[in-house]
Amino acid sequence: MGENEWNGATLNAVHCAISSFDALTVYHLGSRSSGQRHEDVVKLVRQTKIAGVEDKIKQFLDVVRLKNLVEYDADEPSERDAMRACLQADRLFSWVKSNLKI
C-alpha cells in the first residue's frame, strides 16, 4: 500500500464496518439503523443478542471513530491507524458473515 493510500484504506474499513453491522441488523431484526450517527446502529446490534456482541461493538466503534479523521480532519490517518482499522473491519466482517445463514 502506498504512502498516500492510508486515507482510502481507512475510509474503506469504516464503510465495511458500517455495512457489516447494517447487514447483521437487517438479517436478524429486519431493519437497519435510521439514526443520524453511525454509532446509533449499536442499539440495534445489541438486540440481536448474539454471543460476543459487546466485543464486536467495541471494534466497530474503534473503526467508526476514524471516519471524522478521514473525512473532515486536516491530518491523514497514519499507517498504523489504517492497518488497525482494516484488521478490525476484516474481523467484524468475518464475524458478521458467521452470524448470517447465507
What pTM was computed for the model?
A: 0.89
Please list the pLDDT of the chain residue by residue as tens digits (102 residues).
555 689 899 999 999 999 999 999 999 999 988 888 888 899 999 999 999 999 999 999 999 998 887 888 777 888 999 999 999 999 999 999 999 987
Residues whose CB is less than 8 angstroms from the CB of residue 67 and which lie 6 or more positions away in sequence, other chains included: 11, 14, 38
Q: Which helix (H) or strand (E) holds 40?
A: none
Cβ pair 45, 25 in contact under 8 A: yes
